[in-house]
């Protein structure tokens, strides 16, 4: 612990020194020896170099960057040496980030499609004025809204900056009284979210990146961190190099670059991870190797609905099984142990293919309390037909052994996108959420939200029922049941599963008939299906905020103006909201004014202030959710309903800029705002522990020095979840499992990174990694073109046997960044019944040479 504290104090000192030195953007320029002209709000135009603080546009690591601009153009983006997480370094994507803004084909003018028959191909869009485009979008939205609210939808993103996501959720939920809003985070983090809610009743990781520096053993579950979280993997590797006793176990279905540097690889058959996790838990219980004090002080045990089938059919959610998937009942520890008993090491070996001795070795690692164990996981666990269950199973092991919420000893769900936490999860752009973890279905949550949004009491009762989750949204769209769709900060026509259906290449043509508005920075496959394309300001062309995987909120300052007529997404939203809500009232007052009047002047068509002032104003309203003392009515509801809203307390806006990001909850102590690194862990707030939270809501001196004060009865739930097979099992017709994922050089669908010449050169094509023995059977070799076919669709791709990922026989891997390959034509849209997150890892396919 001493080490931890020293390190933290050092980090804090760096952050504070940096805050003092940085202060404002203008001083930053001074630091660089450049004249302090212009500033974040007014990029210089006379050849001066401005320096602004930012955070990388790409993955969930959230690396800090310093942005240099001259004459309205970025000249460099470099790692922020003051950022405690990346210390001036980046991966190759971040290194070339500046070029992402300057692809040849930036969208700079609104575009309108006159003939829906031209959808699905380049062309068919003509230039339009902003007024024409906005009038068209608003009139279609208003028309749909007035006719049938269930037929409109917004699809957002874990890349949408925080205040923009907040306003979008507010417009959709309070302005339109619609819950048909969901983010692409449904495709990556939903299983983690439902896991967090089920186990802890709070959606957040307890740990932070500094846990990596403290751990003695790393266990990666379904996570290719070496490629998908490059700088965090550098941190993990540094920890290994610092102490040769540190071990890394990699649990995976195929050998990856992460496996390449792991000390031991446990390669399991797809879907069998739950059997392995249960066998570990069973071994710990059976052999009395669990932490009895921790169990007694902190845990409760449950089991839930089982044999839940798979969501093949559109009607799954409404089916009897679908309706029962969330049900759980309490059981005793002994009953839990009895449920685990069948999961012997031998049974786990039979199901998973991993030798029993290896599973036992890992179980012994968890049993050894002299060492700290950190589990890390991503899409292999979340994009899983039992993704929520697998999240449970990892927590079960860590909770049984008292390894949770303690420095270096924890279970850490990594996020994939820059603000999947900050926006999608924290401000509530999900179909069932309100800001700050609140749920539409909970009456006190609606009352609380109404108080902060100045809505009449009961106003949000109209949205008590959750809307369409992502797959449901696009399934309904494909069937012609959605008339209006607006998407922003995503490229759904490449990233969704089952694109054969959703792009109208099968018998369902809804995507052609619906009115679709796409806010974008470049032409993408999604804009080929758009009726209107709104050209957006990109990254530092406006001010924005991201919340990364360790609860760290950070601001990226505006550095340059957007090109041509491209505009801030928030402006588009305000202009559409203004038109749609024209003449509408909330509680006898003008609806737009109630919702957005504080920062937007609808008459002038302009914000009331600079990007900074507007962001600050919105943030301060949002921050009220976690600072109820700022709103008397909200404070009363928080008290009477026991909401504990301060538990996720956020700080005033400017502190995030001054400190280059802060991890919440941020606590005010003697006028100073202190971040929290280790949630629920008792200890001095100044050292990064959750002193204030534990003091206010929890209990001191409990086992492990932690107190789970957000959990029901202060007891997280260990829920027994059985192993159930994947949705599809390979057979003679479809003998292979197809797994898809991300690779280091490209971000998601490549719409930005493929326009960076250096990254396009580095990885120009998507390849299908195939085991050489399978190649021999198929009569194909490295470099051959093949057709991959599933029950859903097919695509053509080039085979590789060179081994960047080296799948075992029976499994193939392809990345999803390449629009020309479009692997998602093949991928199933079956999802975890609890989280509704699709399983991108286990579609069964056939492969034939073409």
Partner 1 sequence: MARIGTIAAVGAATLLAAVAAWEGTRPPAALLRPPGAGEPARFDARCIKCGRCLEACPYQAIHVAPLAAGVAAGTPAVDARAQACRLCPDFPCIAACPTGALAPVEGRAAAAMGTARIDEGLCLSFKGMRCEVCYRACPLIDDAITIDYRPREGDAIHAVFAPVVHEGRCAGCGLCEQRCPVSDPRPAIEVVPTGFA
Of 257-265, 435-443, 463-471, 786-794, which part binds partner 1 (CB under 8 A)?
A: 257-265
Does position 850 bind partner 1 by CB under 8 A? no
Query: Which one from 39, 60, 304, 416 is the annotated catalytic residue?
Result: 416
Distance, CA of 79 to CA of 89 (rounded, Å): 5
Options 234, 624, 790, 846; binder of partner 1; rule CB under 8 A = 234
Residues paired with residue 601 on neighbouring β-strands, in sequence order = 606
| Helix, strand, or coil (residue 577) | helix
Crossing angle (nearest 10°) for helices 387-400 and 190-200 = 40
Does position 57 bind partner 1 by CB under 8 A? no
Does position 90 bind partner 1 by CB under 8 A? yes
Options 260, 337, 439, 598; binder of partner 1; rule CB under 8 A = 260
Whether 93 sits among the annotated catalytic residues: the reply is: yes
Judge contact between 772 and 779, C-beta under 8 A.
no
Does position 265 bind partner 1 by CB under 8 A? no
**Residue 816 annotated as lining a ligand binding site:** yes
Options 192, 217, 231, 573; binder of partner 1; rule CB under 8 A = 231
Distance, CA of 117 to CA of 124 (rounded, Å): 9
Judge contact between 143 and 547, C-beta under 8 A.
no
Does position 230 bind partner 1 by CB under 8 A? yes
**Residue 639 annotated as lining a ligand binding site:** no
Options 70, 235, 386, 836; binder of partner 1; rule CB under 8 A = 235
Distance, CA of 599 to CA of 139 (rounded, Å): 23
Q: Which is nearer to partner 1, 239 or 386 (CB)?
A: 239
Reading the block at residue 790, the tokens are 């599933």
Q: Which is nearer to partner 1, 15 or 367 (CB)?
A: 15
Whether 416 sits among the annotated catalytic residues: the reply is: yes
By CB under 8 A, the residues from 180 to 219 that bind partner 1 are: 212-213
Query: Which one from 160, 300, 303, 417 is the annotated catalytic residue?
Result: 417
By CB under 8 A, the residues from 92 to 111 that bind partner 1 are: 92, 95-96
Tell the smallest beta-carbon distance from residue 234 to partner 1 (Å): 5
Query: Which one from 25, 28, 61, 188 is the annotated catalytic residue?
Result: 188
Distances (CA, A) of 39 to 22, 44, 73, 243, 456: 13, 7, 14, 45, 41
Tell the smallest beta-carbon distance from residue 739 to partner 1 (Å): 17
**Residue 184 annotated as lining a ligand binding site:** yes
Query: Which one from 62, 93, 304, 467 is the annotated catalytic residue?
Result: 93
Tell the smallest beta-carbon distance from residue 78 to partner 1 (Å): 10
Options 73, 116, 240, 264; binder of partner 1; rule CB under 8 A = 240
Crossing angle (nearest 10°) for helices 345-352 and 273-286 = 170
Q: How many CA atoms lie within 13 A of 120 on its CB side?
A: 15
Distances (CA, A) of 748 to 96, 176, 193, 309: 16, 31, 21, 30
Whether 783 sits among the annotated catalytic residues: the reply is: no
Crossing angle (nearest 10°) for helices 356-367 and 273-286 = 60
By CB under 8 A, the residues from 745 to 804 that bind partner 1 are: 745, 758-759, 761-763, 781-783, 802-804
Q: Which is nearer to partner 1, 409 or 745 (CB)?
A: 745
Cα Dmax for the chain: 74
By CB under 8 A, the residues from 145 to 164 that bind partner 1 are: none
Taking alpha carbons only, the member of 513, 514, 520 closest to residue 110 is 520
| Helix, strand, or coil (residue 673) | strand
Whether 379 sits among the annotated catalytic residues: the reply is: yes
**Which pairing describes strands 767-769 and 794-800: parallel, antiparallel, or unpaired?**
parallel
Distance, CA of 180 to CA of 513 (rounded, Å): 19
Tell the smallest beta-carbon distance from residue 755 to partner 1 (Å): 14
Judge contact between 516 and 530, C-beta under 8 A.
yes
Of 168-176, 270-278, 621-629, 738-746, which part binds partner 1 (CB under 8 A)?
A: 738-746
Q: What is the 3-class SS of 263-319, one letter each residue? A: CEEEECCCCCHHHHHHHHHHHHHHCCCCCHHHHHHHCEEEEECCCCCCCCCCCCCCC
Q: Which is nearer to partner 1, 280 or 677 (CB)?
A: 677
**Residue 159 annotated as lining a ligand binding site:** yes
**Residue 701 annotated as lining a ligand binding site:** no
Of 231-239, 429-437, 567-575, 746-754, which part binds partner 1 (CB under 8 A)?
A: 231-239
How many of the chain's residues bind partner 1 (CB under 8 A)? 38
Tell the smallest beta-carbon distance from residue 328 to partner 1 (Å): 39
**Which pairing describes strands 785-789 and 843-849: parallel, antiparallel, or unpaired?**
antiparallel
**Residue 519 annotated as lining a ligand binding site:** yes
**Which pairing describes strands 552-556 and 544-547: parallel, antiparallel, or unpaired?**
antiparallel
Find the length of the chain. 850
Q: Which is nearer to partner 1, 100 or 525 (CB)?
A: 100
Judge contact between 578 and 602, C-beta under 8 A.
yes
| Helix, strand, or coil (residue 55) | strand
Of 107-115, 228-236, 445-453, 669-677, which part binds partner 1 (CB under 8 A)?
A: 228-236
Distances (CA, A) of 761 to 415, 437, 748, 765: 27, 42, 17, 9
Q: Which is nearer to partner 1, 260 or 289 (CB)?
A: 260
**Residue 182 annotated as lining a ligand binding site:** no
Distance, CA of 845 to CA of 774 (rounded, Å): 13
Options 217, 266, 744, 818; binder of partner 1; rule CB under 8 A = 744
Tell the smallest beta-carbon distance from residue 704 to partner 1 (Å): 25
Taking alpha carbons only, the member of 455, 459, 464 closest to residue 631 is 455
Tell the smallest beta-carbon distance from residue 812 to partner 1 (Å): 18
Whether 810 sits among the annotated catalytic residues: the reply is: no
**Residue 140 annotated as lining a ligand binding site:** no
Peptide bond into 665 cis (omega under 30): yes
Whether 739 sits among the annotated catalytic residues: the reply is: no
Tell the smallest beta-carbon distance from residue 86 to partner 1 (Å): 8
Distance, CA of 557 to CA of 555 (rounded, Å): 6
By CB under 8 A, the residues from 444 to 503 that bind partner 1 are: none
Reading the block at residue 700, the tokens are 């001191």
Judge contact between 792 and 508, C-beta under 8 A.
no
Tell the smallest beta-carbon distance from residue 802 to partner 1 (Å): 5
Q: Which is nearer to partner 1, 580 or 759 (CB)?
A: 759
| Helix, strand, or coil (residue 797) | strand
**Residue 795 annotated as lining a ligand binding site:** no
By CB under 8 A, the residues from 509 to 568 that bind partner 1 are: none
- Interface positions with partner 1 (CB under 8 A): 86-87, 89-92, 95-96, 212-213, 230-231, 233-235, 237-242, 257, 260-261, 743-745, 758-759, 761-763, 781-783, 802-804
Q: Residues forming the annotated binding site?
A: 56, 59, 63, 91, 93, 159, 184, 188, 379, 383, 491, 519-520, 569, 816, 824, 841
Residues serving a catalytic function are 93, 188-189, 379, 416-417
Q: Residues forming the annotated binding site for [4Fe-4S] cluster?
A: 56, 59, 63, 91
């Amino acid at each position: 612990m001493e080490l931890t504290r020293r390190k933290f104090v050092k980090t804090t000192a760096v952050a504070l020194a940096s805050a003092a030195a940085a202060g404002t953007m203008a001083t930053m320029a001074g630091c660089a020896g450049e004249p302090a002209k212009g500033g974040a709000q007014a990029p210089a135009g006379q050849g001066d170099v401005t320096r602004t603080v930012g955070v990388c546009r790409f993955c969930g690591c959230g690396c800090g960057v310093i942005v240099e601009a001259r004459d309205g153009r970025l000249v460099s983006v470099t790692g922020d040496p003051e950022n405690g997480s990346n210390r001036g370094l980046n991966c190759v994507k971040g290194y070339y980030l500046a070029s992402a803004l300057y692809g040849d084909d930036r969208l700079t003018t609104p575009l309108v499609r006159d003939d829906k028959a031209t959808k699905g191909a380049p062309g068919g869009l003509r230039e339009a004025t902003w007024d024409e485009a906005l009038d068209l979008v608003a009139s279609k939205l208003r028309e749909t809204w007035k006719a049938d609210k269930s037929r409109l939808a917004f699809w957002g993103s874990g890349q949408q900056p925080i205040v923009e996501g907040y306003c979008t959720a507010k417009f959709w939920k309070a302005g339109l009284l619609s819950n048909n809003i969901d983010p692409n985070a449904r495709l990556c983090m939903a299983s983690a979210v439902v896991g967090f809610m089920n186990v802890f009743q709070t959606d957040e990781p307890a740990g932070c990146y500094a846990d990596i520096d403290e751990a003695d053993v790393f266990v990666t579950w379904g996570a290719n961190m070496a490629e998908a979280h490059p700088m965090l993997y550098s941190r993990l590797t540094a920890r290994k190099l610092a102490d040769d006793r540190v071990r890394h176990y990699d649990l995976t279905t195929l050998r990856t670059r992460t496996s390449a540097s792991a000390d031991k690889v446990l390669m399991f058959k797809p879907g069998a991870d739950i059997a392995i996790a249960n066998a570990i838990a069973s071994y710990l219980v059976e052999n009395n190797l669990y932490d009895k004090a921790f169990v007694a002080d902190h845990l409760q045990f449950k089991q839930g609905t089982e044999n839940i089938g798979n969501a093949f059919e559109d009607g799954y959610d409404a089916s009897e099984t679908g309706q029962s998937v969330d049900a759980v009942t309490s059981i005793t520890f002994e009953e839990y142990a009895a449920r685990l008993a069948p999961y012997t090491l031998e049974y786990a070996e039979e199901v998973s293919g991993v030798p029993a001795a290896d599973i036992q070795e890992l179980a012994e690692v968890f049993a050894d309390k002299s060492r700290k164990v950190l589990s890390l996981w991503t899409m292999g666990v979340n994009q899983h037909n039992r993704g929520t269950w697998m999240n449970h199973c990892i927590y079960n092991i860590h909770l049984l052994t008292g390894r949770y919420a303690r420095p270096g000893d924890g279970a850490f769900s990594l996020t994939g996108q820059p603000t999947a936490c900050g926006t999608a999860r924290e401000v509530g752009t999900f179909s069932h959420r309100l800001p700050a973890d609140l749920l539409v279905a909970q009456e006190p949550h609606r009352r609380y939200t109404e108080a902060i949004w100045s809505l009449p009491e009961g106003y949000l009762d109209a949205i008590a029922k959750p809307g369409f989750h992502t797959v449901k949204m696009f399934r309904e769209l494909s069937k012609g049941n959605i008339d209006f769709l607006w998407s922003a900060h995503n490229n759904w026509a490449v990233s969704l599963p089952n694109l054969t259906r959703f792009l109208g290449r099968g018998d369902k043509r809804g995507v052609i008939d619906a009115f679709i508005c796409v806010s974008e920075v470049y032409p993408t496959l999604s804009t080929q299906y758009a009726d209107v394309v709104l050209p957006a300001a990109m990254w530092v062309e406006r001010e924005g905020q991201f919340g990364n995987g360790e609860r760290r909120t950070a601001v990226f300052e505006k550095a340059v103006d957007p090109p041509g007529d491209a505009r801030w997404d928030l402006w588009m939203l305000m202009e559409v909201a203004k038109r749609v809500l024209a003449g509408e009232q909330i509680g006898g007052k003008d609806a737009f004014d109630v919702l957005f009047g504080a920062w937007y002047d609808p008459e002038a068509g302009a914000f009331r202030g600079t990007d900074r002032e507007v962001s600050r104003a919105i943030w301060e309203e949002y921050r009220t959710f976690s600072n109820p003392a700022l709103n008397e009515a909200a404070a009363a509801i928080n008290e009477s309903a026991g909401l504990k809203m301060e538990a996720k307390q956020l700080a005033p806006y400017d502190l995030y800029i001054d400190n280059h990001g802060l991890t919440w909850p941020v606590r005010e102590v003697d006028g100073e705002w202190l971040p929290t690194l280790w949630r629920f862990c008792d200890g001095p707030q100044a050292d990064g522990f959750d002193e204030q939270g534990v003091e206010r809501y929890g209990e001191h001196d409990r086992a492990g020095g932690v107190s789970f004060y957000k959990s029901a009865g202060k007891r997280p739930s260990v829920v027994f979840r059985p192993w159930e097979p994947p949705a599809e099992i390979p057979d003679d017709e479809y003998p292979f499992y197809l797994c898809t994922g991300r690779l280091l050089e490209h971000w998601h669908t490549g719409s930005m990174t493929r326009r960076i010449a250096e990254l396009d050169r580095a990885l120009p094509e998507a390849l299908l990694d195939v085991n050489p023995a399978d190649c021999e059977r198929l009569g194909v070799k490295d470099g051959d073109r093949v057709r991959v076919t599933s029950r859903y669709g097919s695509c053509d791709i080039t085979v590789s046997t060179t081994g960047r990922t080296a799948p075992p026989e029976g499994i193939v891997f392809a990345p999803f960044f390449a629009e020309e390959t479009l692997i998602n034509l093949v991928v199933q849209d079956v999802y975890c019944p609890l989280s509704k997150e699709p399983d991108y890892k286990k579609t069964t396919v056939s492969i034939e040479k073409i």
